[in-house]
Structure 1
Amino acid sequence: MQFQISQELVEHICNLIEEGRDDELLLYLEDVHHADIAEIINELELDQATYIIKLLDSTKTSEALMELEEDVRERILDNLSAKEIAEELENMDTDDAADIISELSEERKQEVIGQIIDEEHAEHIVELLRYDEDSAGGLMAKELVKVNENWSVTGCMAEMRAQAENVTRVHSIYVVDDKNKLKGRLSLKDLLTASSKANISDVYIENVDYVNVHTDGEEVARIMRKYDLEAIPVVDEMGRLVGRITVDDIMDFMREEAERDYQMAAGISEDVEADDSILHLTRARLPWLVLALFGGFISVTVLGTFDTAMQEHGALFFFVPLIAAMAGNVGVQSSAIVLQGLANKSLRGSLFNRLIKEVLLSLLNGFALAILLILGGIFFLGLDFWFGLTVSVSLVAVIIIASLIGTFVPIVLDKWGIDPAMATGPFITTSNDIFGILIYFTIAKVILGF
């Protein structure tokens, strides 16, 4: 049965901690999965959460730490000594350990690394910290199973057993030469069916997908998704095998990327959590709100240039929210589709062809909405024909312009090396509000003559 956290369970854990009944607590949590332990810890007070981490064996708590909410983990790490953190890191894969270390201050990093007993493990962690966290080098783990192309099948089996002890899951067996350069991969089936006298060079598969340590994380995700890979090897500039990235690592990376893009699309300029300080949240939200305010001033200025319309055709102003809303909605829809195409590398064809496609799509949607608007305006709002025509033509024009802005702004930003997610949300909405109002009153001035 799936684990379910409840208030009664949390209270029971708290009582065991307060009464110091460690044996009962250990027995109670013995068969609980590390992800469920993390869920329990997230619900506890800091002192209680730290108590659990110190009480349980580090083989279980090291995995639970990686499942904790980031702010909870940071507070717990602040309550642990450098030696206690080092003990947790020694039971983690190197990529997870590097992630934990990166959250510490520079002084604290040195203290913790100095407390790690396994020098090779410490060296691997330090190596991973040198890479950008969103690159293949920053995502990879050093733990893997590799064999030399010159080994015999019999010798290979013995070496693989020794290596596999340090690898949580063996997704692939990689083949290297004497200089550790990646040569290919080894099929377990071919290995088991090969003659014991054969060499690895006789049975390995040369065709293997790999990435460089500096390959962007999104490109790694695209390659793994395209070829349906559970793991992918990572090589350095000289083609030497230095690590591997597994599907769970890339899923975590893509989840974080999606969260960042979602926040940016909503007008939040920094990576924030709901429990962050008011100052941090304000710093993340305020820049885009200032942009929206500035855009509002421009909209007011544009409206001011058509003050005569207020006197002669005051009803025009009742449709301003409708025009602005449609412009914003269409722009966000268009940018969302383009962003998806950019992320998936599926945006193909020339810009001119995409321009024609967007214009035709906008015309179709615009005419459909315009017909509904003019019929509704005449029969339900009692508008005269020319007034209804003015609003309808404006709606079609605004939809076309908003669609083009939503399409091309992300593409241009992407070509300039700027995250195209910035093109959605407040940016598109504000810019389309301004253009929408300007187009609306310009067309009204031409048709109604004021």
Structure 2
Amino acid sequence: MIPFKLTDELIEQIQQLIATKKNANLRLMMKEFHYADIAEIAEELTKDEATYLIKLLDSEKTSDILAEMDEDLRESILKNLSVKEIAGELEELDTDDAADIVSELPKDIVQEVISEIEDKEHAKDIVDLLRYDDDTAGGLMAKELVKVKENWNVLTCVKEMRSQAENVTRVHSIYVVDDEDKLKGRLSLKDLLTTSTKTHIRDVYIAKVDYVNVNEKSEEVAKIMSKYDLEAIPVVDEIGRLVGRITIDDIVDVIKEEADKDYQLAAGIYQDVEADDSIWELTRARLPWLILGLFGGLGAAAIMGGFEEMIAKHAILFFFTPLIAAMAGNVGVQSSAIIVQGLANDDLKGSISNRLVKEMLLALLNGLILAALLLIFTWIWKGDFLTALAISISLVVVIIVAGIIGTFIPLFLDKRGIDPAIATGPFITTSNDIFGILIYFWIAKLVLGI
């Protein structure tokens, strides 16, 4: 398969076909593309052109296109579709994707759209999924799955599976339930094919099966599926009844969204934004941390003002202030990034005190090496050993403190239920700048005897 490549020439060709209403040619061209590629194409068209394209194609394909495309564009297109047309799109989607789209619709038309769905069982499943928060297993799961009763024999089981599989895009697993729909285990396809048709499922199913509760956080679901290399995982309700399944494609989306959020937090952006958002939305996301940085800078300036007399006598101390602040910020960000990564991957072992001791020893080693280089450079440059020693000792202490702060803060935030990724950005940099400058001038004052 040749990888799809979006070009200006392709977009211009599609726009020309839309402008001249050459629908047959346009349908023929779109038939060659995957729905994800058409979603990418639609995002490069105007809203009117994208709506025209969606209305032109069959719902069987456009439903997947809508589920794949950018939320803002999808919202604009749906506004130009009738209630019946939206319902037609939802009928072609799996329940999880359909529920996601319904949740974005204006509240005043949701009931109308649901009532227009001809498959009432499908509509009921969509409504059921809307009860769950987006960041839970219930909000991620789809209702489509294959399940069999433990008291069926193999022959009955196969017949039922054929019937159920018609509504499932891909069968990852066959789940076994009791008469009350409580999850009992899973069924091996190999065992099913090699067992007598009269054998009962309860005699051949595998009792061990990984599952999650509907209220489990999506990040925890992602960790479980990643740890056990699962393509799908069943979801049970509060009393153990099988209510849905989560597939790997949903988890990939969760991981991507979490990575995007953490990256933005690390960059000092506190809410989810995209490059094409409005200037006001981008400003609201960035400004709080910039204000924090401003106050941090003012705090650092105030600290330096308290050592004005010492700086006047030893001007060289002023020249090394940016270096000390930069090293404090860099070490703090490195330490916090490692901890945040460990928390995200659930790789951190041992107590907080052991982690702090390890980070302190690491910072001490790095600090001594860097301080030795700085001591030699400053001594040769200025010929003043005592001043060079004061700056070097300060650097060691600053690096140790920055390492401890960078380790402790994300661990503390995680314990308090706050996303620790916030600690890898301006928060750590600003706090370490202030502490670093304070420690620097305080130690310099002690060593120089001022």
Tell me, yes or no, whether TM beats 0.5.
Answer: yes
Give the count of matched residue pairs.
449
Question: How far did 1:63 drift?
Answer: 1.1
User: For residue 245 of structure 1, what is the aligned residue in structure 2?
Assistant: 246
Query: Structure 1: any 5+ residue segments left out of the alignment?
Result: none
1:96-125, Cα deviation, whole Å (9 max, x unpaired)? 111112222322323322322221111111
Report the CA distance between 1:383 and its aligned residue: 4.5
Query: For residues 166-185 of structure 1, what are the structure 2 equivalents within 5 Å?
Result: 166-185=167-186
RMSD: 1.2
Q: Pick which of 79-88 and 428-437 moved more.
A: 79-88
In structure 1, C-alpha distance between the alignment counterparts of 2:109 and 2:390, rounded to whole Å: 67
For the residues of structure 1 that align with 2:80 and 2:446, how far apart are their CA atoms?
70
Of 219-228 and 368-377, deviating more is 368-377
**Counterpart residue identity of residue 412, structure 2:** V
Number of the residue aligned with 1:258: 259
Percent identity over paired residues: 66
Q: Are 1:141 and 2:139 an aligned pair?
A: no
Query: Counterpart in 1 of 2:218?
Result: 217
Q: Please show how residues 4-43 of structure 1 align to structure 2 within 5 Å.
A: 4-43=5-44
Look up the SS of the partner of 1:87 in the other structure: helix
How far did residue 344 of structure 1 move?
A: 1.6
Query: Which aligned pairs between 1:25-424 and structure 2 lie closer than 5 A?
Result: 25-379=26-380, 381-424=381-424
Partner letter of residue 393 of structure 1?
I
Give the TM-score of the pair, scaled to structure 1.
0.98
Give the gaps of 5 or more residues in structure 2.
none
Counterpart of 2:361 in structure 1: which amino acid? L
List per-residue Cα deviations over 1:68-121 (Å, max 9, x = no partner).
122222222222222222211111111111111222232232332232222111
State the distance in 1 between where 2:22 and 2:249 align: 36
Distance (whole Å) between structure 2 residues aligned to residue 99 and residue 219 of structure 1 = 20
CA distance in 2, matches of 1:382, 1:317: 14
Cα distance in structure 2, aligned partners of 1:367 and 1:343: 31
Q: Output the CA distance in 1 between the equivalents of 2:382 and 2:308.
A: 24
**TM-superposition CA deviations, 1:140-181 (whole Å, max 9, x none):** 010000000011101111110111111111000000000000
Q: Tell me if 1:446 matches 2:449.
A: no
User: 1:378 is aligned with what amino acid?
Assistant: W
Which amino acid in structure 1 is aligned with residue 50 of structure 2? Answer: A
Give SS of 1:44's match: coil
Q: CA deviation at 1:410?
A: 0.8
- Could you tell me how far apart the structure 2 residues matched to 1:438 and 1:264 are? 26
Matched AA of 1:114: S
- Residue deviations 1:385-428 (CA, integer Å, cap 9, x gap): 11221111111111110111110111111111111112120100
Determine the C-alpha separation between the residues in 2 that align with 1:249 and 1:203.
30
For residue 29 of structure 1, what is the amino acid of its counterpart?
A: M
Question: Helix, strand or coil: the match of 2:245?
Answer: strand
